[in-house]
Amino acid sequence: MKLLTAARMRELDRQAIEDLGIPGVVLMENAGRGAAERLARCYAEFFPGPVLILAGKGNNGGDGYVIARHLLNWGWQVQTLVLAEPSAIVGDASVNLDILTRMGGQVAFVPDEHRLLTALDELGATRLVVDALFGTGLCAPVRGHYGRAIDWINACGRPVVAVDIPSGVDATHGSLLGKAVRADLTLTFAAPKLGQALYPGWAQVGTLEVLDIGIPATLLAACEEDFRLVTAAEVGPLLPARPATGHKGTFGHLLVVAGSRGKTGAAALAAEGGLRMGAGLVTLGCPLSVQPAMAIKLTEVMTASLAEVDGALALAAGEALRDLWRDKEALAVGPGLGTSEETTELVRKLVRECPLPMVIDADGLNALGPYPSFLRDIPDLQAVLTPHPGEMSRLTGTSVADIEADRVGAARRFALDYRVTLVLKGARTIVALPDGRVRITAGGNPGMASGGMGDALTGIIGGLLAQGLTVESAAVLGVYLHALAGDRLAVRQGNSGLFASDLLRELPAARAALAAGEIEDRLC
């Protein structure tokens, strides 16, 4: 599902109005009428209200006046508070404010804190609150009486419906500008906004519904699909086929290079993740001294012992790795490898020379070092990098705080710069593609913020690569299934104390549910 930035939404509005000649006031009428109909249906049990509409001075407020008019016309009791001077209301918003006033709508202007609080104190019982303060035009942290209005909305104890976007949420970055409304229902126009799919914005949205306001589908289809929310309908078809005649060889052989003394669990999870994701075979290449333990721990996974120095892979393991990758379809490298000098050099050599599609994670990423410009010089490199914010910070020399402040931007810049697919793990996981496109998965839960979950994801992506998926499909589908399995687990066990091995046990059922078309997407 396409996600629009504020700028992209404004451009769409402009094209509809200026290029196609659809008057802005018609778009506003469609928006307000659609929102009023949806709201009246969702909250029918509150009829006839009263409903309180808080309107800002822009076109988001304009939608609020249209909503008020239609509710009034259907017999609802509506009170509208305008948080600006009458003279500040212009354009399409002014047209609709004027109609509402002429219709006898109850409108009060509360352009400062005193008049706002007085009006709120004098309110009778309100059944439902509509937030029409700010939409995509919010451009600075909310302060003053607007901030007080948001405090009141969040404390009123009544259902809150946000028009287009909860006021205070940045429509593009999902950041909270000062204060932000926590909505029960957000009625957004034309398409979901990028900021509604990103944390913390998505936590303010409540249930998200998209309303058609008459912007031609051709315009929407033509606008760059830089950002998309991954849906079951989109990733289901990416699942690799499971022909009845299939045999182990049909489903690919994944080579996992992982583990070191004291760090065997990560290697085991990555290796098992490949098999749980449906790879036909998985071989784990690990240091000589940990291979016996891994062989005992792992039943279905084959193990190969490699040269080591002090319990971590040595440069001398390079030759054996060359032999190992010959009859494999994909490589997963990094979990639990350690960061010794020889291991680091070996990983860089492996990434340069191995022709297989690969997923690089954990210490494999640390081995690439900051600003891994050598990646650009590797012909036909097909690589997925899966850093968490700390590893991303080491790769880019950017602080974790700066990365977290603009996760999409950080991931997208890296993918474009180094021409790789980048999976920036966290809430929410961002998949950035080498051409700048971004895919966001709505799933996942705090129970997945635990040791081993990242190693499992590495195995899942590696398992999909081994089954012949492209790097882009393996990353997008792998992240989606990883989150889906984690969410299914959390439904049964709560979102704390979940084990990565439990998530892997849930994976085949999650995959089967996706394949059977049983997954309902949540937008936020």
Q: Does residue 137 have a known ligand-binding role? A: yes
CB nearer to ligand LP7C6HRI: pick between 17 and 307: 17
80 near ligand LP7C6HRI (CB under 6 A):
no
Under the criterion CB under 6 A, does residue 473 sit at the interface with ligand LP7C6HRI?
A: no
Q: Which is nearer to K ion, 131 or 170 (CB)?
A: 131
Q: Is 76 in the site for ligand LP7C6HRI (CB under 6 A)?
A: no
Stretch that binds K ion, among 124-132, 308-316, 440-448, 467-475 (CB under 5 A): 124-132
399: buried, middle or exposed (CB in 10 Å: 19+, 13-18, 0-12)?
Answer: exposed
CA distance 306 to 338: 14
The site that binds K ion (CB under 5 A) totals a number of residues, namely: 4
User: Could you tell which of K ion, ligand LP7C6HRI, none binds residue 131, using a CB distance below 5 to 8 A set by kind?
Assistant: K ion
Check whether 62 is labelled as a binding-site residue.
yes
User: What residues pair up with 54 in beta bridges, in sequence order?
Assistant: 81, 131
Q: Which of 131, 170, 363, 506 touches K ion by CB under 5 A?
A: 131
Q: Which is nearer to ligand LP7C6HRI, 13 or 487 (CB)?
A: 13
Is residue 161 at the binding interface for ligand LP7C6HRI, with CB under 6 A as the rule? no
- C-alpha dist (Å) from residue 176 to 169, 362, 446: 5, 31, 20
Sign, Cα dihedral of 48, 50, 54, 55: positive
Q: Which does 363 bind (CB under 5 to 8 A by kind): ligand LP7C6HRI, K ion, none?
A: none
Cβ-based nearer residue to ligand LP7C6HRI, 192 or 278: 192
- In the complex with ligand LP7C6HRI, the residue whose CB is nearer, 138 or 314, is 138
Task: Name which position in 163, 223, 271, 403 contacts K ion (CB under 5 A).
Answer: 163
Out of ligand LP7C6HRI, K ion, none, what residue 453 binds, judged by CB under 5 to 8 A for its kind, is none
Closest CA relative to residue 285, chosen from 222, 336, 210, 345: 336
Q: 270: closest CA among 331, 356, 311?
A: 331
Residue 439 binds to ligand LP7C6HRI (criterion: CB under 6 A): no
Do residues 466 and 459 touch, judged by C-beta distance below 8 A? no
Q: Tell me the closest approach of the beta carbon of residue 293 to K ion, in angstroms.
A: 57
Residues 85-144 binding ligand LP7C6HRI (CB under 6 A) are 134-142
Which stretch in 22-30, 240-248, 262-270, 452-460 sits in contact with ligand LP7C6HRI by CB under 6 A?
A: 22-30
* Residue 164 touching ligand LP7C6HRI (CB under 6 A): yes
Q: Could you give the CA distance from residue 49 to residue 78 in angstroms, rounded to a whole number?
A: 7
Report helix, strand or coil for 331: strand
Please report whether residue 325 would count as binding ligand LP7C6HRI according to CB under 6 A: no
**Side chain identity at residue 511, one-letter code:** R
Residue list 198-217, contact with ligand LP7C6HRI (CB under 6 A)? 213
Please say whether the beta carbons of 202 and 429 come within 8 A.
Answer: no
Which residues, in sequence order, are bridge partners of residue 129?
52, 160
**Cα 159 from Cα 268, distance rounded (Å):** 48
CA 167/CA 456 separation, integer angstroms: 38
* Pairing mode, strands 421-424 and 430-432: antiparallel
Look up residue 101 and give its amino acid: T
| Alpha-carbon gap, residue 54 to 81, rounded angstroms | 5
Q: What is the nearest approach in angstroms of ligand LP7C6HRI to the Cβ of residue 136? A: 4
Those residues with Cβ within 8 angstroms of residue 255's Cβ, 6 or more apart along the chain or in another chain: 282, 283, 285, 324, 325, 328, 330, 331, 332, 356
Residues 167-206 that bind K ion (CB under 5 A): 167
- Judged by CB under 6 A, does residue 303 bind ligand LP7C6HRI? no
Please check whether residue 309 is in contact with residue 338, taking contact to mean a CB–CB distance below 8 angstroms: no
**Which residues make up the interface to ligand LP7C6HRI (CB under 6 A)?**
13, 17, 24, 27-28, 31, 56-61, 63, 134-142, 146, 163-164, 189, 213
Q: Tell me the binding residues for AMP.
A: 425-429, 454
Q: Tell me the binding residues.
A: 59-63, 131, 135-141, 146, 164, 167, 266, 336, 388, 425-429, 454-455
**Which residues make up the interface to K ion (CB under 5 A)?**
131, 162-163, 167
